[in-house]
Amino acid sequence: MSTPATVARPRDFLVAVGTGEQTRRRRPFPWGTLIVHALLLVSVVVIAFPLYYCFILSTQTVDQVIEKPPLLLPSTHAIENYAEAWRKSKMGRLLVNSAIVAVSVALGKISISMLSAFAIVYFHFRGKTLVFWMIFVTLMLPVPVRILPTYEVVGNLGWINTYMGLTVPLMASATATFLFRQFYLTVPDELCEAAQLDGCGPMRFLWKFLLPLSWANIAALFVVLFIYGWNEYFWPLLVTNTADMRTVIIAIENIIPRSGTELPIWNVIMAASMMALLPPVAVIVFMQRWFVKGLIESEK
């Protein structure tokens, strides 16, 4: 790919020690790397603890869950809990719905945001200020605040209990547009000048130049939007009216007693949560490669 010399080259910034390539000086021991490892381990322990604990709970019996002192190592009831969770939550069919919702929300939002941010940053047009403020003034009007009016709107559109109704309202926020705008603003002007000199039109510029530069951001966006769509609870609950349109999170909620007249079987609930977590994790692992890919492509 021919990019002008001044283009930002996304690359890791490196620790001086332990990379060999950068430093010719020999060091007896890579202390720096060790410190980084140690710090990362601490971060992982702190950040992933709730996740770990969720897993621990999912392997215990229902009494062990509220035992004192709390148990911090896996118990031996994992298999039965996970089988029970699968049976109780009936999530099989619902995984498909959740996947449709999460992927549609992520792709839909990324597409419309990428385009509108491109228009706002790379064009002058009449009414641009109006459009700009119209989009960003409601940067985020949270779903809970607008949930009942939105239900009415969706009802008027005839979208209740449809995939359109499930997904489109979740795409409505300007956060992704904002992110793309922020990113485009950091792309040096010279890139666009050079492209124009080459006779490159706007759509080709977007496709051939901006998109490859945005991989890391798109990957990050995809991860967070997928998870957002996957985990949404109130909206799918309200807008679906048949069992076959529901999502996994609703299935999990259905095994959590909310009437306050039943003891929760936390171990099984946690097992169901762990299972519902697997697709988002798959997405995270998969998107990792995009982070790396973005690097390689721009280094050519």
Partner 1 sequence: MKRTVFKNRWLPYLLVVPQVLVTLVFFFWPAGKSLYLSLFRSPPFGGRDLFVGLDNFTALLTDAQYYDSVINSFIFAGGVTSLSVVVGLVVAGLANQKIRGLAIYRTMLLWPYGIAPAIAGIIFLFIFHPSYGVLPYFLSFVTSYEFNWLLKGWVAMALVIVATAWTHLGYNIAFFLAGLQAIPSSLLEAANVDGAGPVRRFTAIAVPLISPVTFYLVVVNMVFAFFGSFGVIHAVTRGGPGHATEIMVYKTWNDGFIGLNLGSSAAQSVILMALVIALTVLQFRFAEKRVTY
Partner 2 sequence: MNVLRGAFVVLGALAVLAATPAVSFAKTDIHFWHALSGQLGEALEAQAKEFNASQSDYEVKPLRKGSYSETMTAAIAAYRQKNPPHIVQVFEVGTQTMMLSGAIYPVYELMQQHEIRINWDDFIKPVVGYYTKDGKLYSMPYNSSTPILYYNKTAFKKAGLDPEKPPKTWQDVEAFSKKIMGTGGAKCGFTTAWPSWVQVENMHATHDQPFATKANGFGGVEGVELLINREFGVKHIGQLAKWQKEGIFSYGGRAGVADPKFVNGECAIYMHSSALIGSFTKNVKFDWGTGGLPHWGAPYKKATSIIGGATLWILKGKPQPEYRGVAKFLEFLAKPENQMAWHVNTGYLAVSNTAVRNLEQGYHFVKNPKQYTAFAQLTGLPPTPPAAMAGKKAAPAKPERVSTPNSQGLRLGNFVQIRDAIEAELENVFGGKKTAKQGLDDAVARSNNLLKEFAATHKP
- Residue numbers of the site for partner 2 (CB under 8 A)? 62-63, 66-68, 88, 96-97, 99-100, 103-104, 107, 148, 151-152, 155, 160, 163, 234, 237-238, 241-244, 250, 253-265, 290
| Candidate list 1, 79, 83, 153; residue touching partner 1; CB under 8 A | 153
* Options 76-84, 85-93, 247-255: segment touching partner 1 (CB under 8 A): 247-255
86 binds, among partner 1, partner 2, none (CB under 5 to 8 A by kind): none
Residue listed under structure tokens 């604990």: 53
Among 1, 96, 140, 243, binds partner 1 (CB under 8 A): 140
| Contact status: 223 vs partner 1 (CB under 8 A) | yes
| Part in contact with partner 1 (CB under 8 A); list of ranges 74-82, 85-93, 227-235 | 227-235
Closest CA to 89 of 253, 243, 229, 262: 253
What are φ and ψ of residue 136, in 5° steps?
-90, -20
Q: Does 152 participate in binding partner 1 (rule CB under 8 A)?
A: yes
123 binds, options partner 2, partner 1, none, Cβ within 5 to 8 A by partner type: partner 1
Q: Tokens 């996304």 correspond to what residue?
A: 10
Distance of CA 158 to the CA centre of its chain: 29
Rounded-to-10 torsion of CA 249, 251, 256, 261: 140
| Nearest-angstrom CA–CA distance, 276 and 138 | 31
If contact means CB under 5 to 8 A according to the sort of partner, which of partner 2, partner 1, none does residue 261 touch? Answer: partner 2
For the purposes of burial, counting CB atoms within 10 Å of the CB of 114, is it exposed (0-12), middle (13-18) or buried (19 or more)?
buried
Interface characters, 181-220, with partner 1 (x: CB under 8 A): -xxxxx--x--xx--x----xxx-x-------x--xx-xx
- The answer to whether residues 165 and 159 touch, using CB atoms and an 8 Å cutoff, is yes
Taking the least distance from each CB to partner 2, the nearer of 17 and 166 is 166
Amino acid occupying residue 10? P
